[in-house]
Amino acid sequence: MFGFIPGLGMQEMLLLLLLGVLLFGRKLPDIGRSLGKTVIEFKKGVSGVEEEISNATSGMGKPAIEPEAVRPPQRVTPSGAPKFEDAPAASTSNLPPKV
């Protein structure tokens, strides 16, 4: 009878309905209402994603973000060779204490 759950007959459905009423009681309408709102929000989200996909596929000729023009690689040459000092600068604050 119900194709979504194989082997679920009328007796099982009545048992589940009775169990739901016993467990949830007065909260059953609130649960149904919140479940309905959840399904509606899910459908809105899915339709939004479908619209984005259809917009993206229909505008395949031009991308949303224009890519930068490709430039050939450039060589970076230093202005001069690095210069190292033979003696470090004389500062007393960097020296360890003498024992």
Examine the pLDDT at 63 and tell me if it is beyond 90. Answer: no
DSSP state of 25: G
Select the highest-mean-pLDDT range: 52-56, 63-67, 83-87. 52-56
Q: What is the pLDDT of residue 36?
A: 93
Length of the chain counted residue by residue = 99
Domain positions in the chain: 27-58
Alpha-carbon distances, residue 74 vs 34, 37, 41, 71, 78 (angstroms): 61, 58, 52, 8, 13
Residues in Cβ contact with 28 at an 8 Å cutoff, skipping those fewer than 6 apart: 20, 21
How many other CB atoms are there within 10 angstroms of residue 51's CB atom?
10
CB 10 within 8 A of CB 18: no
pTM (predicted TM-score): 0.39
87 or 10: which leads in pLDDT: 10
Which residue is listed with tokens 């169990």?
A: 19
pLDDT grade for 2, boundaries at 50, 70 and 90: low
First to last CA, the chain: 95
- Tokens in use for 13? 């459905």
